[in-house]
């Protein structure tokens, strides 16, 4: 159980955040790499708790989930902050934001509205007549504010509805352990299958692999890999990735779907063309040599 997410040093009031692989060591009042967690008096707190930047009733296929509640809608909520630095991020205005700051790389200050867990769960319940299946935590990286996910999803389950998590999987096992009892499905970004590529994005491949393995044992999981030209677009890498996914599948007796999606120039990565459609289909076909359920996206 994640009873506390910081290690305190009483004299300096410093603290180390335990939520992800960065293990940010923060002075009192300092915000971490993710832009969402900060040190208050020697304790790491969830600074974006209940601070909503985006709320929409989306088709569940948009998450993307193709094999969980197909044809339904899901109330999708996002806040701000992320613990990766993907240069192609399509939600960079909120994922790269630090509220109240416009310095040190925090160029975007989002507009937020406070939505309590009780209010969000009630809104999801009232949207049932529209085909809503529950709540999806998405748009930014939800696990940098995992406490809000936990508190809200517990209430959503109390209404008999589903919880979906759309995540980069860059979080500690303890965080995932707290959430799994309330989460019904996840889409996890597997950015690629090379450690050096993950380092470019500010992440760690082994952390994500461990997260996927743990999550797949506890709920429905689908994976997404965005194919970026010149970065993760070789057949060899896709074969390694799909082979590893197949091994996870066997270990937990699940059939994990993989979404192979097309890159479009975005944010800081406008120096190259969109991924060739034919390449996306060829890599999907490579993945089908190992996996039963492979879907193509953005084509």
Q: Indicate whether 27 belongs to any domain.
A: yes
- 154 and 42 within one domain: no
- 116 and 22 within one domain: no
- 99 and 158 within one domain: yes
pLDDT in tens, 243-261: 999 998 777 757 899 999 9
- 118 and 18 within one domain: no
Instruction: Specify the number of domains making up the chain.
Output: 2
Mean pLDDT lowest for which of 10-19, 130-139, 148-157, 252-261? 10-19
- Report the pLDDT value the prediction gives residue 4, as an integer from 0 to 100: 46
Q: Indicate whether 1 belongs to any domain.
A: no
CA–CA distance, 141 with 271 (Å, rounded to integer) = 25
pLDDT in tens, 258-295: 999 999 999 999 999 999 999 999 999 999 999 999 99
pLDDT in tens, 177-193: 999 999 999 999 999 99
Check residues 2 and 33 and name the one with the higher pLDDT: 33
- 20 and 154 within one domain: no
- 106 and 42 within one domain: no
DSSP string, 210-242: HHHHHHHTTSEEEEEEEE-TTTS--HHHHHHHH
Q: Indicate whether 225 belongs to any domain.
A: yes
- Report the pLDDT value the prediction gives residue 3, as an integer from 0 to 100: 43
- 169 and 139 within one domain: yes
CA–CA distance, 143 with 155 (Å, rounded to integer) = 18
- 57 and 41 within one domain: no
The candidate with the shortest Cα–Cα distance to 294, out of 258, 262, 242, is 258
Question: Where among 29, 46, 63 does a domain terminate?
Answer: 46
Angle at 147 between CA 143 and CA 151, to 5 degrees: 120
Task: Assess whether pLDDT exceeds 90 at residue 227.
Answer: yes
Task: Assess whether pLDDT exceeds 70 at residue 5.
Answer: no
pLDDT in tens, 84-100: 999 999 998 889 876 55
Tokens of 25: 């060591």
21 burial type by CB count under 10 A (0-12 exposed, 13-18 middle, 19+ buried): middle
Domain hosting 198: range is: 51-297
Q: Indicate whether 21 belongs to any domain.
A: yes
Tell if the pTM clears 0.85, that is, is over it.
yes
- Report the pLDDT value the prediction gives residue 107, as an integer from 0 to 100: 56
Tokens of 256: 């994990």
Q: Indicate whether 139 belongs to any domain.
A: yes
Q: Indicate whether 186 belongs to any domain.
A: yes
Share of the chain above pLDDT 90, in %: 85
Mean pLDDT across the stretch 232-247?
Answer: 96
Angle at 207 between CA 253 and CA 200, to 5 degrees: 130
151 contact partners, CB below 8 Å, separation of at least 6:
117
Grouping H, G, I as helix, E, B as strand and the rest as coil, residue 172 is coil
- 172 and 25 within one domain: no
pLDDT in tens, 103-136: 444 456 778 999 999 999 999 999 999 999 999 9
- 163 and 25 within one domain: no
- 38 and 145 within one domain: no
What value does the mean pLDDT of the chain take? 92
Q: Indicate whether 126 belongs to any domain.
A: yes
CATH label of the domain that carries residue 171: 3.20.20.70
- 165 and 82 within one domain: yes
- Report the pLDDT value the prediction gives residue 97, as an integer from 0 to 100: 76
Residues 265/226, Cβ–Cβ less than 8 Å: no
pLDDT in tens, 185-225: 999 999 999 999 999 999 999 999 999 999 999 999 999 99
CA–CA distance, 238 with 241 (Å, rounded to integer) = 5
Rounded to a whole number of angstroms, the CA Rg of the chain reads: 19
């Amino acid at each position: 159980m994640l009873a506390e997410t910081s290690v305190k040093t009483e004299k300096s009031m410093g603290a180390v955040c335990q939520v992800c692989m960065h293990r940010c060591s923060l002075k009192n009042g300092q915000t971490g790499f993710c832009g969402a967690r900060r040190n208050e008096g020697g304790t790491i707190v969830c600074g974006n708790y209940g601070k909503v930047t985006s709320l929409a009733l989306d088709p569940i296929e948009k998450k993307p989930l193709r094999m969980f509640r197909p044809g339904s809608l899901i109330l999708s909520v996002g806040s701000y902050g992320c613990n990766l630095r993907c240069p192609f991020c399509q939600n960079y205005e909120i994922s790269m934001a630090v509220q109240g700051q416009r310095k040190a790389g925090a160029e975007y200050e989002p507009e937020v509205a406070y939505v309590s867990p009780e209010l969000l769960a009630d809104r999801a319940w009232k949207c049932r007549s529209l085909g809503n299946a529950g709540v999806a935590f998405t748009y930014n990286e939800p696990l940098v504010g995992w406490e809000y996910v936990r508190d809200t999803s517990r209430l959503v389950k109390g209404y008999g509805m589903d919880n979906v998590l759309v995540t980069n999987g860059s979080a500690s096992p303890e965080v995932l352990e707290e959430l799994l009892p309330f989460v019904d499905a996840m889409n996890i970004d597997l950015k690629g299958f090379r450690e050096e590529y993950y380092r470019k994005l500010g992440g760690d491949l082994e952390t994500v692999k461990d997260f996927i393995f743990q999550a797949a044992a506890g709920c429905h999981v689908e994976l997404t890999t965005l194919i970026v030209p010149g970065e993760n677009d070789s057949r060899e890498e896709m074969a390694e990735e799909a082979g590893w996914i197949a091994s996870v599948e066997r270990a937990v007796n699940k059939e994990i779907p993989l979404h192979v999606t097309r890159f479009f120039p975005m944010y800081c990565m406008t120096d190259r063309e969109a991924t060739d459609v034919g390449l996306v289909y060829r890599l999907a076909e490579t993945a089908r040599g190992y996996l039963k359920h492979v879907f193509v996206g953005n084509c």
